[in-house]
Amino acid sequence: MMAADGTPTTWHATTLLQAIGNVLLFALIGVMAAIIGFKLFDKVTPGHLGREIIEHRNVAAAIVGAAVILGVCIIVAAAIMG
């Protein structure tokens, strides 16, 4: 991708403010992707995972939920790192 003057554009920050903005943007996208991934996993599996974890204190369900969130986060981190 090139800018109008022919210089290549990049996501790399050139100032501290740009770096902080990029961190906040990617953190927001990552958290949203983790939540969406958990909700999607909860929809495609039988039962209600959140209810199992909170109301029934099911440790196995909590481990599965944590594994799903970590898996989505690893994918998001790899996508951000490029």
pLDDT given at position 8: 65
* Separation of alpha carbons 6 and 8, rounded Å: 6
User: Is residue 8 domain-resident?
Assistant: no
Q: What is the pTM of this model?
A: 0.70
Domain residues for 55?
18-81
Task: Please tell me what DSSP assigns to residue 12.
Answer: -
Encoding tokens for residue 53?
């974890």
pLDDT category at 1 given cuts 50, 70, 90 is: low
Say what the pLDDT of residue 14 is: 86
Instruction: Render pLDDT for 18-75 as a digit per residue (tens, 0 to 9).
Output: 989 988 998 898 889 888 988 998 899 888 988 999 999 999 999 999 998 899 889 8
Q: In whole angstroms, give the CA distance from residue 65 to residue 52.
A: 10
Q: Distance between CA 80 and CA 22 in Å, rounded?
A: 11
**11, part of any domain:** no
- Pairwise pLDDT comparison (82 vs 42), residue with the higher score: 42
Is residue 66 domain-resident? yes
Into how many domains does the chain fold? 1
**What is residue 8's three-state secondary structure?**
strand
